[in-house]
Chains A and B, each alone.
Chain A
Amino acid sequence: MSMEQFQDRNVGKQNYFTVDIEDYPVTGMDKFRRVAKRTFRGELFVGLWVVLREMFKFDIHTVQYPKEKLPIGPRYRAIHQMQRLWESGTERCIGCGLCEKICISDCIRMDTRIDENSRKEVTEYSINLGRCIFCGYCAEVCPELAIVHGGEYENASEQRAHFTLYEDMLTPVDEAISGKQKEFPGFGAITPYEDERVKKTPLAY
């Protein structure tokens, strides 16, 4: 085992360096000169002209978002959802921790414990959306098809964390029981013909 990490006691004394950028104008004259330069360059009008030209063509393809929304492809990777089992409505997540392990931006964490029935229970589950890069590895690695990417991409909010509260990500129980839960064919779903590929344990009895 490498002992390097234990031998580096240089906490807080790393060699930081400053980025080499042009100095900010200090005197009033320098500031004025910069404003004048930026104002009379005329770059603003280049952009305005493009808009004006397109406006008069009357050939607009713009989707009238948010009134209009394009359908999302099944493999689109938006905000995660946690699925439940059909019929019983039990959470699919078994707390194996593979999503936590595979996450390349290290944004998933979970707390587990042993519950009253001696089963592994997930007590807390969190995805840090500030770090998530929506790569979809978590959904792909999930052995239970528990975590999937849904189609909810509108995640502008004061707190992005609000989208990944465990309770909110979970399919509501009644929806799961009544069979309204959507199975995603995209990331994390099993590939077609999986049944033929799996070798079964012989049950001779």
Chain B
Amino acid sequence: MSMITITIDGQKIETQEGEFILNAARANSIFIPAICYLTRCSPTLACRICLVEADGKQVYACNAKAKAGMEITTSTDTIEQERRSIMEVYDVNHPLQCGVCDQSGECELQNYTLELGVDSQSYAIKDVERAAIDWGHIHYDPGLCIVCERCVTVCKDMIGDTSLKTVPRGSDPLDASYKESMPKDAYAMWNKLNKSVIGLTSGEAMLDCTSCGECAAVCPVGALVDTEFMYKSNAWELRQIPATCGHCSAGCQISYDVKHESIENSREKIYRVMNEWNYVSLCGAGRYGFDYENRDVNKDEAAFTKALEAFQKADTIRFTSTITNEEAFMLQRLKEERGYRLINHEARTFQNFLREYSAISGTALYGSDLKETHDANFVVSVGTALKSDNPNARYAFNNSMKMNKGAGLYFHPVPDPVIEGLGKNVMSINHAPLQEEVVLYLILDLFADKEQLPEAITTYLERFHGTKTVTVTETIKEEVVESVAKIVVDEESGEEKEIVEEVKKTVSKKVEKEVEVQSNALLEMLGAPENFNDALSKYLKKADTFSLIIGPDCYTHPNAKNIARLCALIEKYSAFKLVMIPTLTNTLGVSLICDLDEEAGSYAIGYNAPGDFTLSALGEGDLDMPALNQQEGTLTSINKRVNPTNAALDYEGYELNDLCNALGLESELTVDYTQRLPIEKGFQAQKFDDLPNHYTNEGVEVRGYLLENRGVKTDNDERVDAINTDLALKEGSIVYLVNPVRQFTAFTNKTEQLHTDGGLYMSETYLNESDFNEGDTVTVSTSLGELTVTIISDNKIDGAIACLPTFDNNINSEALFSAYRFTSASIKKV
């Protein structure tokens, strides 16, 4: 791709060759009206309003690609006529209920109707009954719908659920005279619009998707609305607080929309979460899990004094990674000043993994980010339940399939219908647990540059290659000669006589043949499907940008050290760009900032974690702390970006900074620590107030700053261990430690819309093939402990692995697992 110059309305602009004209114009602040187009998704061509003239020809700006020297006019008389007619058509039978519509003025139909000066209506058609439908968490009013199909597009191209489609409207055909009298594009657009409304792909009455709510966010009118938000507030009353989502490591930019709670109660409350949907897509937890603030907290001096006493007594601080960088830095300072041990196992495993990775890669951090996954056309995911661990990584995975005609491999023991449903070019390989090492060796084998790769590894990989004889059935064409008896009448004598003729014929015949083929023992170890090689060679035909997503299963693997080194080798010797999913919100930040200890001491302070004295943002501890939506600070995301977040709601109680000040660290505000974050780890000495948090028209992320990926000294030792074939889980049922979609931690579970009871999640297949039924109470026991839970049927997983969640504080599921996320257990009915 090279930079070219095009001219739009006489203005010369630089853009990438092949970029859509609309995007090029937007990047340079030139206005072209467009309704149905979504950046990062494929052009829908539903609204046709983005008509422009390029080199004298009318094209749609959203799907016409820029070519060098192109002359573009955004407005001519015919185009203006088309646009005006299109807007008139959109206004046909649109209810005049703007006063009660939840879009409350943030309406693109309103805006464009005014922009194009539509003050009279020339078209009419009999309306059909279009009653509002409740789809569960989304409410659809077809009466308001302009069928721009943005919801359909985003669901397919970005989210990957493909839950929405257009369905017949059942209206009368358009008046025949319009075909002559109307502008051409307006007529074509109306003709299509008149035949469709939005419906569910499944044909069911309720939406059964991963419930991200992105469809309602992108809706230009008030047709799709979050059911919970309906008629609660007008958009203009809400104050938008720019923030960063605190639920997972994706660090999505969001804005909390706050307003007073009611007439009686003027305390502020979050009503909804909004996002810049052109550039960032949220998951259901980010969108609906916003009210996890620690409410009604006052400065409890007695508890504060006790906390200080506890800090005097304590020798350990145990904490989770759902904290800001500043808080992590405070804990680290406390360690330096007062010698506490810092315990955070999940961040420590990630820290160790990164360290091992650095030993070969020579960089402190993985080289890639999700942006590059979006742009890749061959994506491999290893060791992560993609849709639960980091929904944005899944969106990137899906987006690269849809937009770049890419392909993907999903290596995971739990079959995932959501991932499998992303498209034909996704192959899911459900290997046995503990085989992540094999997967990485396979990737090395398939993709690494064998000439460069250390010889020991090449020889090691060679051992898996062999030939095997397989029986293939072939269809061959054979010529056969058949004798056919025929009765012929002799013309002269008139006698009938039988003659035998020989006829040549070709017939197809199936034969079984034994052939020798190349075999790869690694594939067999993983239980890859038979057609793996064929499919892969098909996938790779057009693949030129590769992305590898590594997940938490790898960090907790007993051979994590070796896996980390293999990851580094893959990054070094193949075209793959590597991105790792940090386990929790700020695991990456914590692992960079804190020196974590392995062994806890005798008396521990727990911060959002169990301890002898607990500080809790959930409001369950001995001293209350502010939740992430009540704090300002920075969070480090998977994209290695330090994102600022602002406090959406008031917090009256004590915070960690107060404790630190009382313990001898001097800082007036928590955010004073932002500029003191360790520069040697890649942070920058930037003041919190100087950190931006927005996207430009071009789609460039201007948020906080990127961590510097600093070089690390290596000893050039690139040896890796052979696959440990002895590793296997004990006999018994396999249980996986993973949350269902829309849940991450106890914080998501605290919110009103997401609150639910956890349980043992089993797929429908599992339930059908076993004696268990949904709702049964069972005990799950491993060598480490026992747990009584209720079975929940989950149609978002498949196969015979049960899943235990971590979001429900009533289920201490982590106690059953040593470290690795899979364990063998016995499940018995109570």
- Where the two chains meet, the residues of A that have a C-beta atom closer than 8 Å to any C-beta of B are 1, 3, 6-7, 9, 94-98, 100-101, 109-114, 118-121, 124, 126, 143-144, 199, 201-205
Contact = CB atoms under 8 A, between A and B. Distances in A.
Contact of B119 (A110, A199, A202): A199
17 contacts: A3-B693, A7-B689, A94-B100, A95-B100, A96-B100, A97-B104, A109-B260, A109-B263, A112-B231, A112-B232, A119-B100, A120-B100, A120-B231, A126-B263, A199-B119, A199-B120, A202-B124
Given A96-B98, A96-B100, A112-B231, 8 more contacts: A95-B231, A97-B234, A97-B237, A112-B232, A112-B233, A114-B231, A201-B121, A202-B122
B99 A101 contact: no
A111 B262 CA distance: 6
Nearest to A199: B120
B443 interface: no
B209 interface: no
Contacts of A204: 124-125, 175
A166 to B, nearest CB: 10
B234 A101 contact: yes
Interface string B237-281: 100111000000000000000001011100000000000000000
A96 B102 CA distance: 9
B194 to A, nearest CB: 14
Interface in B82-129: 92, 98-100, 104, 119-126
Contacts of A114: 230-231
Contacts of A95: 99-100, 231
B515 interface: no
Contact of A111 (B122, B230, B263): B263
Interface in B755-786: none
B44 interface: no
A120 to B, nearest CB: 4
Nearest to A202: B124
A205 B175 CA distance: 11
Contacts of A6: 241-242, 632, 646-647
B685 interface: no
Contacts of A7: 689
A111 B694 CA distance: 32
B124 A124 contact: no
Nearest to B632: A6
Contacts of A205: 124-126
B661 to A, nearest CB: 16
A118 B694 CA distance: 36
Nearest to A201: B121
Contact of B263 (A110, A120, A143, A201): A110
B100 A100 contact: no
Given A3-B689, A94-B99, A96-B99, A113 B231 contact: yes
Contacts of B632: 6
A116 to B, nearest CB: 12
B97 to A, nearest CB: 8
A143 B121 contact: no
Contacts of A113: 231-232
Top 5 A-B pairs ranked by shortest CB distance? A96-B99, A204-B124, A120-B231, A120-B100, A205-B126
Contacts of A110: 263
Contacts of B175: 204
Nearest to B262: A111
A95 B99 CA distance: 8
B236 interface: yes
B665 interface: no
A130 B279 CA distance: 46
B720 interface: no
Contacts of B689: 3, 7
Nearest to B100: A120
A1 B242 contact: yes
Nearest to B255: A1
B132 interface: yes
A154 to B, nearest CB: 25
Contacts of A203: 124
Contacts of B206: none
B712 interface: no
B669 interface: yes
Contact of A118 (B99, B132, B260): B132
Contacts of A144: 99
Contacts of A202: 121-124
A111 B264 CA distance: 10
A202 B242 CA distance: 45
A193 to B, nearest CB: 18
A67 to B, nearest CB: 39
Nearest to A7: B689
Given A109-B263, A124-B262, A1 B240 contact: yes
B236 A101 contact: yes
Contacts of A120: 100, 231
A34 to B, nearest CB: 44
A71 to B, nearest CB: 34
A101 B98 CA distance: 15
A165 to B, nearest CB: 12
A160 to B, nearest CB: 16
Of listed A1, A114, A126, residue having the most chain B CB within 10 A: A114
A114 B524 CA distance: 58
B225 to A, nearest CB: 10
Nearest to A6: B646
B242 A98 contact: no
Contacts of B669: 9
A124 B121 contact: no
Given A110-B263, A203-B124, A205-B124, A98 B99 contact: yes
A156 to B, nearest CB: 24
A108 to B, nearest CB: 10
A6 B689 CA distance: 8
Nearest to B230: A114
A94 B264 CA distance: 21
Interface in B646-673: 646-647, 669
Nearest to B650: A11
Contacts of B264: 124
Contacts of B694: 1
A100 B233 CA distance: 11
B252 to A, nearest CB: 17
Contacts of B693: 3
B263 A124 contact: yes
A11 B585 CA distance: 30
A157 B232 CA distance: 33
Contacts of A118: 132
B121 A100 contact: no
A14 B647 CA distance: 21
Nearest to B99: A96
A101 B104 CA distance: 12
Nearest to A96: B99
Contacts of B234: 96-97, 100-101
A120 B120 CA distance: 29
B237 to A, nearest CB: 7
A126 B242 CA distance: 30
A109 B123 CA distance: 40
Contact of A201 (B124, B132, B237): B124
Nearest to B96: A201
A78 to B, nearest CB: 23
A144 to B, nearest CB: 7
Contacts of B98: 96
Interface string B121-141: 111111000001000000000
A192 to B, nearest CB: 21
Interface in B779-799: none
Nearest to A123: B262
A100 B125 CA distance: 37
Nearest to A110: B263
A1 B646 CA distance: 13
A83 to B, nearest CB: 15
Contacts of A3: 242, 689, 693
Contacts of A100: 234, 237
B254 to A, nearest CB: 13
